[in-house]
Structure 1
Amino acid sequence: MSNVSYSKFTLENAKTNFELTLEENQDLFSKVEPVKPSEILTTILREYIPLATAINTEKARSELLISQILADVRRQLNYRISLFSGTEFNVEADLGLQGYCDFLLSFSSEQYFITAPVLTIVEAKNENIIRGLGQCVASMVGAQLFNQRADNPVKVIYGAVTTGTNWKFLTLEEKIIRIDVGEYYVKEIDKILGIILQPFGEYRENS
């Protein structure tokens, strides 16, 4: 599978190839507390949501919405985590765990290279979130394997597929992929931030 990359996976063949159990229709984040966005992000979204929607390209949504939201997560954690965008993330070519991640958040503050990936984010192509789930699952498996090899104590890998305005979240724990039943719209930014910040709970407590 050396010619296969994250983006080539469908949800079905990711499940089969990595021998995963799929659990759907769960409300995974109902108990997650909303987190208020910074004043900077609030101002940015007020201006950029209508602009990104009007331009309506993947590039605009990525630059004006997704990047801004993830940068605010890093800001809220006092820059103690790292954010990667369009970074090559080659873990195991023979398994197809190679290629570029749209976005990735890591426990480490090291920004020059990936050390402890905990959340991968896939931009939905053609605004099709379901089609992006396979790529997201594959990149999550890559992150899990990376952490296992590096002896990083990361129990759960988080993932998201987003158009910038709509967000769908999932988790990978051992061999179980859980897909959240709902989607969150960017106007629910406090809930989206709460979910993205969940794996960084220990950092938030000390912020």
Structure 2
Amino acid sequence: MSFDTYKNISEVLKEYRITSTEGNYIIETEIAIREAFQEELEFCLREFAFAESEYAICETIIFPILKEVYRHYRDKFTLWSHKTIAYDEKLSGVPDYILAKRSPLGKEVFENPFFVAIEAKKDDFIKGWGQCLAEMVAIQKINGESRQQTIFGIVSNGEFWQFGKLKSNIFTKELKSYTISELERVLAAVNYIFRQCELELNSFAE
């Protein structure tokens, strides 16, 4: 088995005894948008046929947005693309993107992950969240459940962005949904996630 064998959140909740809830926990945290980034993203949205290519969605929308926010946190984290992780045979696979603690040994060394982001392939957010939550559970177990760390997850098809978090055995899905047409809000929501990861990292360092 691997992450993508989970078809929905329910399968993960039952297998790992997780309680699901919803709430408005994201506090949109404003971030400066570089003009060059905005122009490039607008060009991609205008020129590429995303319905024909899932790779184009990842490479020209999802990753650039994550990367733009990551610029502000690169001293503390490393943003990994398609990095294999494994806790056991069931909880293994390749998340699209992972934010992990930056290792003092160099950017080639993978250390404690804090969030995962995946593409909702074929706009299937139901399966996307099943896969994402399984990845969040894997990260929780890899890092050590005793740390009481909050793990964050993002599922997006490029146009729509959804957010969730896992702390202990409680999964909370953000009620607000974000669209690429409101780019500043998407970036502010992603920036909030990065900021929370930074606070988590600082708390463990104390």
1:37/1:187 Cα in 2 relative to 1: closer, same or farther (>3 Å)? farther
TM-score by structure 2 length?
A: 0.85
Query: Does 2:25 match 1:28?
Result: yes
| Residue of structure 2 equivalent to 1:189 | 183
Contact 1:118 1:199 in 2 (8 A): no
| Residue of structure 1 equivalent to 2:46 | 50
Q: Work out the number of aligned pairs and report it.
A: 195
| Residue 16 of structure 2, aligned match among 15, 18, 21 | 18
Deviations 1:123-156 (A, max 9, x none): 111012222110000000111111117x8x5721
| Residue 154 of structure 2, aligned match among 153, 160, 181 | 160
Q: Which amino acid aligns with 1:128?
A: D
| Residue 131 of structure 1, aligned match among 117, 127, 134 | 127
Identical counterparts, % of pairs: 24
| Residue of structure 2 equivalent to 1:6 | 3
> What is the CA distance between 1:199 and its match in structure 2?
4.3
Across the aligned residues of Structure 1 and Structure 2, the Cα RMSD in angstroms comes to 2.3
Contact 2:29 2:191 in 1 (8 A): no
Deviations 1:60-113 (A, max 9, x none): 1111111111111221224531111111111222xx110111111113255323
Contact 1:35 1:193 in 2 (8 A): yes
User: What secondary structure sits across from 1:101 in the alignment?
Assistant: coil
Contact 1:34 1:192 in 2 (8 A): no
List gaps (5 residues or longer) in structure 1. Answer: none
List gaps (5 residues or longer) in structure 2. Answer: 200-206
Higher mean C-alpha deviation, range 76-85 or range 113-122: 76-85
- 1-side partners of 2:176 and 2:63: how far apart? 22
- Show structure 1 runs of 4+ deviating over 6 A: none
- The residue correspondences of 1:52-201 to structure 2 (distance < 5 A) are 52=48, 54-56=49-51, 57-93=53-89, 96-108=90-102, 110-148=106-144, 155-201=149-195
- 1-side partners of 2:172 and 2:50: how far apart? 33
User: What secondary structure sits across from 2:108 in the alignment?
Assistant: coil
User: What secondary structure sits across from 1:45 in the alignment?
Assistant: helix
User: What secondary structure sits across from 1:87 in the alignment?
Assistant: coil
- 2-side partners of 1:78 and 1:115: how far apart? 14
Q: Which amino acid aligns with 1:5?
A: S
> What is the CA distance between 1:193 and its match in structure 2?
2.4
